[in-house]
Amino acid sequence: MVTKFVKEHTYAVDYNREGHRQATSWVIGDFLNNRYIAPSRTFKSKDIVNDMRERFGVKISYNKAWRAREAAYDTLRGTSEELYSYLPAFLHVLVESNPGTTTDLVVTQEGRFNYCFFALAASKEGYQFCRPVVCVDVAHLKEKYKGMMFTTVCKDSNNSIFPLAWGIGGDFDAVVDLQRMNCTCKKFDLEKLLCEHALRAAGEIRENKFYDCCSPFYSADYWRLAYAESVYPVPSQSDWEIPDEIREVVVLPPDLKEQRKRGRPRNNSYRSSGELPKRKHKCTKCMEEGHYQKKCPQHMFERRDEQEPRPATQP
């Protein structure tokens, strides 16, 4: 209940207490909602700090700005838990909208997300007209529940990337077999060098030595044996003893079908078949292609004029 009201405000506006307990992350996040016009728009934490200081004279920490941004994301896009719950319905509608699309969603016995996969029908049909070389790329997700995103692509007739399938998997427990030197991450299988999963497994078995789990090609003995043999120099030509059957062999230079053009040889290599031309340099001074500002003829003339001594003026 308000018992007294003082109309005159005597608190200094320029006095800002760092932190501002009333300016919570949820309050700031609610203010940021109108900033995120589209779900794809981003707003960095440092921008929030500067915006709050310039517009309201409130100084907040970087961590509070980050929490405010996450709160705004949750209000606009929904929380991570809500988005995971939408996955079955989303994949179902995706197949209804694109008949022939392949999807797969796997959860654990507790109902926790394990991985999901989908390949659009348009991508499956278009693959038969693309090059039969498939590439798989993996990107680590940095959100709350982390995980990895797998992308499968190939190249079309225009040498452009053609998407085939997508998959998202959570953090999985790798299965390691130290005796067979393999791991489900496949890094141990290919390199025959302890991966992070095999290294952890070997550390739990104390009687097992780390070096015994690696290929002998990584050992110092193999390295020394690789360079054990010597390379001897060829003696002077005057000391050569050549048999007659070797002297009788005649070797002529290759047939010169096209004589080299006169002048300085070209420095640029010939492009291979299918290789795209390199991007030409553009000068920021004259806006012409083929050179930088440092070697711009216009810029060089201006520098030369500046360096030339000016005639002395008559008193």
Q: Which residue has the higher pLDDT, 5 or 156?
A: 156
Residue 5 predicted with pLDDT over 80: no
Fill in the amino acid letter for 206: R
Tell me the three state secondary structure of residue 26.
helix
Q: Which residue has the higher pLDDT, 314 or 116?
A: 116
What confidence score (pLDDT) does residue 24 get? Answer: 75
What confidence score (pLDDT) does residue 178 get? Answer: 82
Query: Which tens digits make up the pLDDT trace of 14-47?
Result: 444 555 666 777 677 766 766 655 555 667 788 8
The two three-digit tokens of residue 132, written as one number: 């039969």
Query: Which tens digits make up the pLDDT trace of 183-195?
Result: 887 888 888 888 8
Q: Which long-range contacts (CB under 8 A, 24 or more apart) does 245-254 make?
A: none
Residue 176 pairs in a beta bridge with: 183
- Give buried/exposed letters for 53-65 (b at 16+ CB in 10 A, else e): eeeeebebeeebb
Question: Would you give the end-to-end CA distance of the chain in angstroms?
Answer: 86
Q: Which of 8-12, 114-118, 156-160, 226-230 has the lowest mean pLDDT?
A: 8-12
Question: What span, in angstroms and rounded, lies between the C-alpha atoms of 80 and 172?
Answer: 19
What confidence score (pLDDT) does residue 13 get? Answer: 47
Look over the chain and give the mean of its residue pLDDT values, rounded to a whole number.
Answer: 80
Whether 127 and 154 have beta carbons less than 8 Å apart is answered as yes
